[in-house]
Amino acid sequence: MRVLVIDDDEELAETIAIGLRRERMAIDLAYDGESGLERALVTTYDVIVLDRDLPRLHGDEVCAGLVAAECASRVLMLTAAGTTEDLVDGLGRGADDYLAKPFAFAELVARIRALLRRAHPAVPPVLAGGGIVLDPARRYASRGGRSLELGPKEFAVLELLLAARGRVVSAEELLERVWDEAADPFSTAVKVTVSRLRRKLGEPQVIQTVAQAGYRVQGPS
């Protein structure tokens, strides 16, 4: 899952980013509305965590820009004001959900995951394929009943491949969805991570390489 956090409170934004990365999410940051909107329109994000009171471009205007561009990202709006009127106003401007500050981090994670499920309603909460069972909420994966000890990137790659349900996922898509903007597009990060993942999954191999296309995992079994 790739998330954009737009908040002018840099300390809070960094704290949120650290926590969400521990939840195996790829996080990008923007500290004002104008740069946040620019990032959101050039990169595909699953969820955008948007502070409402932003410099340079107000959060409401960021929402309006996303709607006008028909951006598919789900928007979770953050605000220091938590009245019913604020909630209605924020949702009316294009936000998908609303969270008042201060908030519990566990609630933020739950709201983000709920928005992801709404964005991809066909994806079940527990993924399966090739004898693998993966539960993103519990951060647990197993194959043939054997628990798998996976690193954050390995877990995220496997989650994306299983969610694709047999569709070929390109290395470019994996890099965009699993890594953040700091990733080098010419690096071998995807290849190395898939190689490590294959070793941990064991035999028979379940991740298939499709020449000049990408990777896939067979459907549920």
> Which residue is it, tokens 């877990």?
155
Number of alpha helices (DSSP H) and beta strands (DSSP E) in the chain: 8, 11
Strands 47-51 and 2-6: parallel
Q: In the prediction, which pLDDT does 137 show?
A: 77
Q: In the prediction, which pLDDT does 221 show?
A: 47
Phi, psi of 150, deg, nearest 5:
-110, 140
Q: In the prediction, which pLDDT does 149 show?
A: 94
Q: In the prediction, which pLDDT does 19 show?
A: 94
What are the beta bridge partners of residue 100?
A: 79
Domain with CATH 3.40.50.2300 in the chain: 2-119
Q: In the prediction, which pLDDT does 94 show?
A: 79
Phi, psi of 129, deg, nearest 5:
170, 140
What CATH number has the domain spanning 127-217? 1.10.10.10
168 alpha carbon, distance to own chain's centre: 19
Count Cβ atoms below 10 Å from residue 120 Cβ, excluding itself.
Answer: 12
Domain with CATH 1.10.10.10 in the chain: 127-217
Fold of 2-119: Rossmann fold (3.40.50)
Q: Which residues, in sequence order, are CB contacts of 148 under 8 Å at separation 6+?
A: 132, 141, 142, 200, 201
Q: In the prediction, which pLDDT does 169 show?
A: 92
Strands 97-100 and 127-129: unpaired
Residues of the chain with pLDDT under 70: 81-93, 119-124, 185-186, 219-221
